[in-house]
Structure 1
């Protein structure tokens, strides 16, 4: 089972990226921050709203050194067809990973029993390939890329500032906490 503070497992998949089909592995993730953004299926309802929202934030994510891997159990061919036929999906510049063998969905433990579809799940992975955050929502609950961006900034801050933590609602530039015996019972 994928858990926070555990490494991602080895994988091999094909993605639609920059107008081409490219093979990717876990080695392509190492050395940078990454988001694995699982969704149930192409040509659906909530999924394109989420993927479009993520596309709108992709440039800012890139400036933070974050690569995005959207993943469904559709093929990379289906991703290309959807990209070519939908205005919302057509603006995507990040990887659209085909997981028809279910390797990634199984590695991250988000494959729905008996359905062949992935849950709506997000994983933030640090440059060492360690999972730093997980979010899984029910079918009808779409995710918000601006909140994902906030979580990534917090994860990056904590990684680069040992001994500090980000409290609830933390935003870039806000005060952090330095856990100590002196803070116990005073927050």
Structure 2
């Protein structure tokens, strides 16, 4: 029969309790990820339209704001809009946080219809035939107050999807496909 002194028993109980509570997230930690809001301000360079607002509030995506954003990100050549993947907005929000800017995000391209994508692919070798733009999962963006290289580096650091760097065209491509870069 082993005897454990009271001081050692207290130590073991304390360590066991600490270990148990360290793996159970606190209510404060859990609520922090679902409380608050995420807002964006977008500018479409082709149409001159601005749009902004809180697209996510207290853990819920705001369908009215997301619908407005999808319209702003439409294929302006065909005047067609689709619901854009909500993960794109989260990528843009994370970029703004990483870069510590509240400036407008300039959108060069959002949704592309298959007709527009085929036309652009015929003109340029840099347009993918199965582009994520056609699925509402990609945007080509710039933030005028941020150097393009810094925007690219921030997007790469997030590891949230594809990142393309087009310095001659003045934009960075971001998508919510697999993590990759070019």
Scaled by the length of structure 1, the TM-score of the pair is: 0.26
- Which entry has the higher C-alpha Rg, 1 or 2? 2
Greater helix content: 2
Higher relative contact order (CA 8 A, sep 6+): 1
